[in-house]
Amino acid sequence: MDPASYQPTRQSGNPTEPSMGRIEFEPRNYRPLNPPERVLMAPGPSNLPPAVLQAMSAPLLGYFDPEYFKIMDEVMDLLRYVFQTKNQVTFSVPATGGAGMEAALVNVIEPGDNVVVGVTGFFAGRMVEIAKRCGAKVFPVTTEWGKAIDLEEMQKALETHKPKVVATVHGETSTGVEQPVAEIGRMVRDAGAYMVLDTVASLGGPQVKVDEWLVDVCYSGSQKCLSAPPGLAPITFSDRAVQMIRSRKTPVQSWYFDITMHERYWIDPRVYHHTGPALMVFALREALRLVYEEGLEARERRHQVTSDALVAGLTAMGLKMFADPAHRLSSVTSVWIPDGVDDMKIRRGLLNKFNIEITGGLGDFKGKMWRIGLMGYSCKASNVLLFLAALETLLRAEGVSVPSGIQAAGEIITKA
């Protein structure tokens, strides 16, 4: 019987006081957990490498075990490598990438601060909302979806509003656009402001250069290009940002995300703040180790070649790309859905017939765009060829005449 068909039976000794009654459930047959194995090609999460899966089956350690502290130290070292920073305050917040965004902003923003946000998509819009809830005066620099931030408009905003904080997203998953962060970072530093950068969709894929780009606060998520399970938010703070936070006039709005408390747990004097999610930290450690073994340049090249192959294949099929080609993000490819094609029907076909997950557009682009992730362990030539073959099959079944894109993709792959 379908478990959803079972209904609880309430038994009460006193029908006038139902809250004192005892709720009993009919027996249910809960089978061992066995979710399907998908090819994850949405903009996160990505598939997990075997080493990461194995790490999650390791013996659990207490959050004050000296051996756990050693693993935490390794995670900090590896995160500094991946972020390309010497920042001491570099670790992971025990929550998702969205929590990383909130942790970054609530620590550096106080009520009344001027904040400029480069808004080029859905997730930068969340930055605006969080900054407003912090009591900031927020000045968005808005760019059409699919394009990068206009550097001239950003410069005008810096001169006009003289912000304390400037925030933007490196790789915007809602559009598949990569922002010119190096240029923005220099502008922000010259203006005397603090730069906050979202690298949820890029860290571990396209290179992130925190120190070189003059980024003060940078955060990410564990589940995308790093290929660990969702649930941790790597984050790093520059020395100047830490000094500013310590000299705040008001307490950080969030007790849980107060980074000075996390610092005292992760570094010294190892003071209790939260129950460390040991198995998640083990998984992140292994994921970061794999990044280190592959090397940042090799990993970036793998993402770029695989993305180029996907774009070549989709273009050969006659599909049109969404993002500006001069600023296309390698970890997320955005493509217009052909006229007359039912978005959900194709995506359901990919999932149900081929075990492939992609996702659709957000906001005004819902039903008009597909977003295809090539992240971390999921960033493979075999996944590109599988996806192109599946998409061609489904489109032709719907009466859409499309050429094959496999040869064009294959040529990019074999030349790499």
Domain boundaries defined on the chain: 50-293, 296-415
pLDDT in tens, 29-83: 999 999 999 999 999 999 999 999 999 999 999 999 999 999 999 999 999 999 9
Query: Does the pLDDT at position 9 exceed 50?
Result: no
Question: How far is the C-alpha of 200 from the C-alpha of 384, rounded, in Å?
Answer: 22
pLDDT in tens, 169-201: 999 999 999 999 999 999 999 999 999 999 999
**Closest alpha carbon to 377 in 314, 286, 297:** 286
Q: Which CATH class is domain 50-293?
A: alpha beta
Sign of CA pseudo-dihedral 194, 199, 203, 206: negative
**Closest alpha carbon to 93 in 193, 268, 208, 237:** 237
Helix axis angle, 122-133 to 97-108, nearest 10°: 40
pLDDT in tens, 149-163: 999 999 999 999 999
Q: Which two tokens stand for residue 118?
A: 């480069």
H or E element in which residue 178 lies? strand 177-178
Which pLDDT score is estimated for 6?
A: 44
User: Within 13 A of 43's CA, how many CA atoms are on the CB side?
Assistant: 27
User: Within 13 A of 168's CA, how many CA atoms are on the CB side?
Assistant: 29
pTM metric for this prediction:
0.93
**Cα–Cα distance list, 12 to 8, 19, 369, 384 (Å):** 13, 8, 54, 59
Which pLDDT score is estimated for 10?
A: 47
Buried b or exposed e, range 322-339, using 16+ CB within 10 angstroms: bbbeebbbbbbbbbbbee
User: From 3.40.50.720, 3.90.1150.10, 3.20.20.100, 3.30.1240.10, which CATH number describes the 296-415 domain?
Assistant: 3.90.1150.10
**Closest alpha carbon to 409 in 359, 374, 370, 368:** 374
pLDDT in tens, 358-403: 999 999 999 999 999 999 999 999 999 999 999 999 999 999 999 9
**Closest alpha carbon to 117 in 159, 149, 83:** 149
pLDDT in tens, 210-235: 999 999 999 999 999 999 999 999 99
Which pLDDT score is estimated for 321?
A: 98
**Closest alpha carbon to 378 in 42, 53, 40:** 40
Which pLDDT score is estimated for 22?
A: 78
Question: How far is the C-alpha of 358 from the C-alpha of 356, rounded, in Å?
Answer: 7
pLDDT in tens, 305-338: 999 999 999 999 999 999 999 999 999 999 999 9
Query: Does the pLDDT at position 20 exceed 80?
Result: no
